[in-house]
Structure 1
Amino acid sequence: MGEKVLMKGNEAIGEAAIRAGCQCFFGYPITPQTEVAAYMARKMPRIGRAYVQAESEVSAINMVYGAAGSGVRVMTSSSSPGISLKQEGLSYLAGAELPSVIINIVRGGPGLGGIQPAQSDYFQAVKGGGHGDYRLIVYAPASVQEMVDMIQEAFDVADIYRNPVMVMGDGMMGQMMEPVEFKERAGRPLPEKTWAATGLQGRKKHNVINSLFLAPEECEDHNIKLQAKYREIEQNEVRYELYNCDAKCDLIFVAYGTTARICKSVIKMADREGIKLGLVRPITLWPFPKEAFEKVIDKTEHGFLSVEMSMGQMVEDVALCALGRKPVSHFGRCGGMVPTPKEIYDRVKELIAGGAR
C-alpha cells in the first residue's frame, strides 16, 4: 500500500491526469469544477506541459481536437452549462475518432441553474448531447479514490478505442475531500498512434484528421464502422457493482455516484428493521450495465428503485433493462438538492407496502 493523501476531488482529478501522462489541458473556469483548471494551471507549466485557459468552452474543446489530432494525451474539464457549449466539439472528436478525456462536474439545471450538485446531465452524456450517431464512454465514480482510478483508466480506454471518454461526477464529488492513493499502474496495452497528424515521418502521404464525408455512401460507411466499435466497447468495457444482492431482496436500488453512497446507508438502516435491500451501481453509464439486471432480476420481490439527483433520466434505462418483468420506480431530488437516507427509506417502505406499483 502506498501513502494516502487528503485531497479535494477536483484537485485529485488534476493530479491523476498528470500521472496518467496528460500533456495538454484546455479549459475555462466554471463552478463547481474550477479547482481542476486551477490545479492544472499551477502544475502543468512546472513540468513542461501545456495549460491554456481558453477564451470560452467552445475554444477549449476545439483546442482539445487539435492536440488529440497530434496524438498527445489531452483533457478538458467543465460543468454542466460549459459541457453544453462543448457538444459540437464532442461530436467532432467522436466523428474524427480522437482520444480525449472530458471531465463534467455536474451542477443543477436546466439553464444556468445553481452551483450545487446534481445528476441531471445523464441524458446529455449517454444519449449524445451533440449531433449525429455517436457515443461517449462515460464513467461515474462514487468516491475520490475511484475518480482518481477512473481518470487513469479513461486515458487508456480513449487511446484503445480512439474515442472521447467522459468522467462525470456531481458537484459534491468535485468538492469533497477524501484520502486517496495514487497507485502505480502497469496500464493496458495501447495501439501505436499511426493515424496521428505529426508530419510525414517517412510516410508517403500526410495523415489527415477529418469527420467530413460529402458522399452519403462514405458517410454511411463511416457510421457503420463507428457502430461496430461501439458494439466492441459494449462487449468489453461494461463496469458495475452489485451490493448486497447475494440473496433475495425486497427491493433493489439503482444509483450511481453520490446517490449510490447514500443508498448504501439506507441498506444498512433497512437491515436493522429486517428489510433486505440491494444496489446495482452502474460504474459505466455508457455502456450501461444491462447484464447486471439479468443477474438480479429474479432476486427482487418489488422491483427496482432508481435513485437520482434528477427528475428521472437513468430510470428510462433501468426500465429498458427490466423489460416489464419487474416494477421500476423513481425517487429523485433536483436543482442541487441531495436526497437524505430517511426520505429514500420512506419511499422504499411506501413501495413495499403498495406492491411497488
Structure 2
Amino acid sequence: MKKYLMKGNEAIAEAAIQAGCRFYFGYPITPSTEIIEYMAQKMQKVGGTFLQAESEIAAIYMVFGAAGAGKRVMTASSSIGISLKQEGISFLAANELPAVIVNITRTGPGLGGLGPSQADYFQAVKGGGHGDYRLIVLAPSSVQEMADLIMDGFDLADLHRNPVMILADGVLGQMMEPVVFHNRKPIEVDKSWATTGAKDRPRNMITSYNLQNEAGEAKALYLENKYKGIKEREQRWEVYRMEDAEYVFVAYGTSARIVKGVVDTLREEGHKVGLIRPITLWPFPEKAFTPIIQKVKGYMVVEMSAGQMVEDVKLNVNGAAPVAFYSRQGGITPQHDEMKEKFYQSFDVRGMRI
C-alpha cells in the first residue's frame, strides 16, 4: 500500500476526510493549526463544509448543529481552546451526539507554552464540562495511529452516539512519519434520531433540559448504564515485552515511545521489565492489569504532567504493588537516563539481575 510522509496533524485531517467527515469547524491555535489549514484546503474539494469560526465556543456549537443533523463532523484545538469548548462538549454528551474532538496538547495552566504536555488527561477522561458524562478518549503514539484512531473515532462516535476525543501531544502533531490510509468504509448505523427535516415523519427533538427531577434522574441513569457498556466493550491497550515482566512501566502517547527504549535498556541489564500503553484513556484499560496483578512487583507511571493518569493506575493496582512516578513538565519530554535512574531508586534493584 502507498505510504505518505506526513505530519501527525496532516494525517489526522486526511484520515477524517477519508472517514467521511464533511463538516469541520474550528479556530487556529498552535500546535494544532495544520489541521485547520489542511481542512481549509481540502474540505471543499470533497463536497464538504469548512468554516473558521470566530471563536472556539462558536466552533463547538457549530459542531453541535452538524452532529444533530446526523453528519460526521470534527473540530480540533489545543488545550486552551479545548477548555473553551467544554460547555458545548457537555451538551454533545448529554444529547448523545456523535462528533470527534481533537486535542493536540500544549503546556499549561493558563496560556502555558507551545511545548508538548499530557496535563489535559483529567480534563479529557473525567469530564471537563459540567455534569456526569464521559467521552471516549483515544491516545495515539505514532502518526500512523493518529490516522487509524481518527477513523476508529468516527465509528465509535456513531456506534455509541457519544463524542470521541483524540488526545495527542504537540510532539505527535508536529512530527513526520510514513502513514498508510486503509480506505475503510464508515460503519452504517441508524440515525433516525437526527434533525433532518420532518415533512414525512414525526419531528425529532434534541434537548437535555429536564424540568422534572424524575426525568432528569432517569436520563442520568440511562447514560450511566450506557457508559458501563462502553467501559466493558471498548478498552484498548498495547503491551510491550510483558511476557515475563515483574516490573511494569505505564505510559501513553509520546511518553510511551520513549519508555520503550528504557524497557529495552533495562532488559539488556538483566531486569524483567515491560510496558502497558493505554490506547483508550477512557475507558481506562483495567483488563490489561487483571492477569498480571499477582505477579508484578512494582509499577512506574511516566507522564508529561504533575501526575494524572497515575491516579487511575493506583486505583487499578489497588495496593497490590508499589506505584512509582516519573514526570517532566513545561514542554520537556521524559529523559531516558532519568527514567532508568528513577526505576533503580524506586525499586532498589541496582546491581541485581531479576
Q: Could you tell me the TM-score, scaled by structure 2's length? A: 0.97
Counterparts of 1:84 and 1:320, CA distance in 2: 26
| SS across alignment from 1:35 | helix
Name the residue aligned to 1:110.
109
The one-letter code matched in structure 2 to 1:304 is Y
Whether the 8 Å CA contact 1:94–1:136 is kept in 2: the answer is: yes
Name the residue aligned to 2:290.
294
* Match 1:257 to one of 253, 264, 277: 253
| SS across alignment from 1:345 | helix
Name the residue aligned to 1:95.
94
- What displacement does 1:187 show? 4.5
Name the residue aligned to 1:206.
203
Matches within 5 A, 1:164-183: 164-183=163-182
Name the residue aligned to 1:67.
66
What residue ranges of structure 2 are gaps of 5+ in the alignment? none
Name the residue aligned to 2:267.
271
* Match 2:224 to one of 227, 234, 239: 227
* Match 1:313 to one of 305, 308, 314: 308
- What displacement does 1:185 show? 2.1
- What displacement does 1:296 show? 1.8
| SS across alignment from 1:52 | strand
The one-letter code matched in structure 2 to 1:130 is G
- Greater shift, 76-85 or 192-201, is seen at 192-201
- 1:305-355 Cα offsets, whole Å, 9 max, x none, are 110000000000000001111111111111111111111111011112179
Whether the 8 Å CA contact 2:19–2:186 is kept in 1: the answer is: no
Matches within 5 A, 1:140-159: 140-159=139-158
Counterparts of 1:145 and 1:248, CA distance in 2: 27
- What displacement does 1:299 show? 3.1
- 1:279-307 Cα offsets, whole Å, 9 max, x none, are 11100000001111112223322x11110
The one-letter code matched in structure 1 to 2:296 is T
Whether the 8 Å CA contact 1:247–1:299 is kept in 2: the answer is: no
Q: 1:187/1:49 Cα in 2 relative to 1: closer, same or farther (>3 Å)?
A: closer
| SS across alignment from 2:293 | helix
Matches within 5 A, 1:10-25: 10-25=9-24
Counterparts of 2:237 and 2:245, CA distance in 1: 19
Counterparts of 2:106 and 2:223, CA distance in 1: 31
* Match 1:334 to one of 298, 311, 329: 329
- What displacement does 1:242 show? 1.5
Q: Could you tell me the TM-score, scaled by structure 1's length? A: 0.96
Instruction: Among all aligned residue pairs of Structure 1 and Structure 2, give the percentage whose two residues are the same amino acid.
Output: 56
* Match 1:193 to one of 191, 210, 223: 191
The one-letter code matched in structure 2 to 1:55 is E
Name the residue aligned to 2:49.
50
- Greater shift, 178-187 or 317-326, is seen at 178-187
The one-letter code matched in structure 1 to 2:244 is A
- 1:226-278 Cα offsets, whole Å, 9 max, x none, are 111101101111100121111142x2000000000101000111112112211
- 1:80-130 Cα offsets, whole Å, 9 max, x none, are 000000000000000011000000000001111001000000000001110
Counterparts of 2:156 and 2:286, CA distance in 1: 20
- Greater shift, 172-181 or 340-349, is seen at 340-349
Name the residue aligned to 2:240.
243
| SS across alignment from 1:30 | coil
Counterparts of 1:26 and 1:98, CA distance in 2: 16
The one-letter code matched in structure 2 to 1:339 is P
Counterparts of 2:107 and 2:291, CA distance in 1: 33
Matched, 1:282 2:278: yes
Give the number of aligned pairs: 350
Matched, 1:352 2:347: yes
Counterparts of 1:337 and 1:270, CA distance in 2: 22
Name the residue aligned to 2:318.
323
- Greater shift, 257-266 or 268-277, is seen at 268-277
* Shift >3 Å, 4+ stretches: none
| SS across alignment from 1:159 | helix
